[in-house]
Amino acid sequence: MIGVLCPSEDAAVLEEFFQLFKTPWEPYEPGRAYDVVLATTGAVPEVEARLVVVYGTRLTRGDDRLGAAAGVRPNGVRPRGGALDCRGVRLPIYGALLTFVAREPRSAYLATPDGAVAGLKVRAGSVTVVRLGYDLAHEVRVLLAEGQAPEQAGVPTLDLHVALLRGAILDAGLPLLEIPAAPAGYRFAVCLTHDVDFAGIRYHGLDHTLLGFLYRATLGALARVARGRLSVARCVESWRAALSLPLVHLGWVKDFWEPFDWYLRVERGLSATYFVIPFKRRPGERVTARHASRRGAAYDVDDVATTASTLWRHGCELAVHGIDAWHDADRGRQELERIARVSGEPRIGVRMHWLLRDEHTPRVLEDAGYAWDSSVGYNETVGYRSGTTQPFRPPGARSLLELPLHIQDGALFRRGRMDLSEAEAWTRCRALIENAETYGGVLTVLWHDRSHGPERFWGDFYIRLVDALAARAAWFGTAGQVVEWFARRRAVRFQRGAAGIRLRYQGEDIISPPLAVRVYRARGEADEGRERGAAWVDVPWSGRAPDDLDRRLAAAAGARVVQGVGAGR
């Protein structure tokens, strides 16, 4: 059990941190014995624990007892943080950073790229103290409320903070109980999503969309051939599509922007989520971006209503591609109701058109009745805007969960954004897949409705990406299914009892797929530096209260590792 000692203003954000690091914890109570005490206060009292982890940007009297002194800068503080070397991985720090003088070389635990010590590890008898020179609550708050700049997009910063604390516990020789951020038998989840901005070129007359297509499909295609970004064969296909436009409008030739059949064929039964525009020709209000008037769509959900039953048969879902829901709860409710009439889903989610949002958006969406949102991502790059692979509850929300967006086609390939070649884009995507395998969570992919056809031709890359993900140990679910699974994981509680830790869960059984209860074996000093990957055992759990859960855990991991662990309702 971890006892968390923090100021009252940090309680909520640290509670969210421990929803991501799903391990037994409780607010610190004096007089209770803990395996680990985590402190973010200036003064840490004498505690009974085998490991004490102290975060903070100011020296305290406790630091004197550790032999810690401030580094060479004024007061040892770097006001703008910087980065840390977290066991070979770059960890950005967004608040102040306190550096130390390590009197014993072995006590240095974290360092900056220029060699300054930002973390110490000291043994005092049977107690290990890890002193870290940043404010964990501030870092989590910045990531969830403001997010990372695009330059840091490739770093799962919040997941690294979880991994750092987990590693400190294991390095101290303590066993650890955790419900990992992936279902039993899987390494991570995958959510395939499609923003339906156009639905078909036949909905457009001589508007900016059609005229822009004609330019990009003809002269633009020739320019891409010259840049080495389009083959001659694809250029010919693009010109052929442009010449076929009159026949498409007459209904004599299939609409090459119609997305549904192509995606159903490529995804081969892998459930996907389609975000559909609720009202046509509504650009929305409070849109300050360039060409705001062009935000209105030429179609709406009524135009694709007959397709909905086909999508349902393939296990897909419809969600709202919001227009004004990000700033107006009444309009957001109207948008939700319009999609709900067609989708029939009891719990509706949203992704805002153009990813518009502000600091009030989570509460506004919640008041409008949405169960989840998936607008936190980048238009200009790919990666982790909030620093995590996991769905989370954004600041200001009571129950709404945010499904983070990680990979977007336009960010990868459009000019003015990353403008990558397919080889460069694959390198970026492969890194995100590897992070998902390491940290769990979900990898959320957005491929737009028209991206498979002329003039973009990003379909081949999408096929490669889906095939690569399908070959991994990944669970595929719709956005609603993935969010619901994580919501049930979040509903599990750890309760201290006379016999040990009890897992408590009230809700529907978690069977498709079940949770994993993970037990890390205790590790001694001789194990330091070894890979953690082989140091755990997983036991599937549906959330029920079987009498033999503690027996199965003990049999899997050893009775000395887990004692008195069980489950209940």
Q: What is the DSSP string of 4-17?
A: EE--GGGHHHHHHH
**Do 320 and 194 share a structural domain?**
yes
Query: By CB neighbour count within 10 A (0-12 exposed, 13-18 middle, 19+ buried), where does 324 fall?
Result: buried
**Do 360 and 265 share a structural domain?**
yes
Domain containing 515 equals 492-568
Q: What is the pTM of this model?
A: 0.93
Rounded to the nearest angstrom, the gap between the alpha carbon of residue 115 and the centroid of all alpha carbons in its chain is 31
* CATH number for the domain that contains residue 51: 3.40.50.880
* CATH number for the domain that contains residue 425: 3.20.20.370
**Does residue 454 belong to any structural domain of this protein?**
yes
pLDDT in tens, the chain (569 residues): 999 999 999 999 999 999 999 999 999 999 888 999 999 987 777 888 899 999 999 887 777 666 555 554 545 677 777 899 877 889 999 999 998 887 776 778 888 888 888 888 988 778 899 999 999 999 999 999 999 999 999 999 999 999 999 999 999 989 899 999 999 999 999 999 999 999 999 999 888 999 999 999 999 999 999 999 899 999 999 999 999 999 999 999 999 999 999 999 999 989 999 999 999 999 999 999 888 989 999 999 999 999 988 999 999 999 999 999 999 999 999 999 999 999 888 899 999 999 999 999 999 999 999 999 999 999 999 999 999 999 999 999 999 999 999 999 999 999 999 999 999 999 999 999 999 999 999 999 999 999 999 999 999 999 999 999 999 999 999 999 999 999 999 999 998 876 678 888 988 989 889 999 999 876 654 444 343 444 788 999 998 765 466 677 666 655 444 434 455 55
**Do 542 and 498 share a structural domain?**
yes
Residue 546: the pLDDT is 56
**Does residue 437 belong to any structural domain of this protein?**
yes
Asked which of 238, 256, 274 is the last residue of a domain, the reply is 256
Q: Over the Cα atoms of the chain, what is R_g? A: 26
Asked which of 458, 484, 510 is the last residue of a domain, the reply is 484
**Does residue 452 belong to any structural domain of this protein?**
yes
Supply φ then ψ for residue 475, to 5 degrees. -95, 125
Rounded distance, CA 151 to CA 499, Å? Answer: 49
**Do 50 and 105 share a structural domain?**
yes
**Do 218 and 323 share a structural domain?**
no
Could you tell me which residues come within 8 angstroms of residue 453 by beta carbon, excluding any fewer than 6 positions away?
241, 256, 257, 262, 459
**Do 501 and 357 share a structural domain?**
no
**Do 308 and 435 share a structural domain?**
yes
**Does residue 231 belong to any structural domain of this protein?**
yes
CA-to-CA dists, residue 113 to 82, 84, 108, 121, 148, angstroms? 9, 7, 14, 19, 20
CA-to-CA dists, residue 156 to 165, 490, 498, angstroms? 15, 20, 38
Residue 67: the pLDDT is 57
**Does residue 292 belong to any structural domain of this protein?**
yes
**Do 370 and 235 share a structural domain?**
no
Could you tell me how many residues make up the chain?
A: 569
**Do 219 and 74 share a structural domain?**
no
Asked which of 449, 484, 519 is the last residue of a domain, the reply is 484
Residue 74: the pLDDT is 47
**Do 140 and 11 share a structural domain?**
yes
**Does residue 467 belong to any structural domain of this protein?**
yes
Residue 75: the pLDDT is 53
**Does residue 183 belong to any structural domain of this protein?**
no
Rounded distance, CA 451 to CA 473, Å? Answer: 27
Q: Considering its fold, how many domains does the chain have in total?
A: 4
**Do 276 and 241 share a structural domain?**
no
Supply φ then ψ for residue 548, to 5 degrees. -100, 15
CA dihedral for 513, 515, 520, 521, sign (positive or negative): negative
**Do 95 and 49 share a structural domain?**
yes
**Does residue 16 belong to any structural domain of this protein?**
yes
Query: By CB neighbour count within 10 A (0-12 exposed, 13-18 middle, 19+ buried), where does 268 fall?
Result: exposed
Tokens of 104: 């014993």
Rounded distance, CA 442 to CA 159, Å? Answer: 12
Contact 387, 143 (CB under 8 A): yes
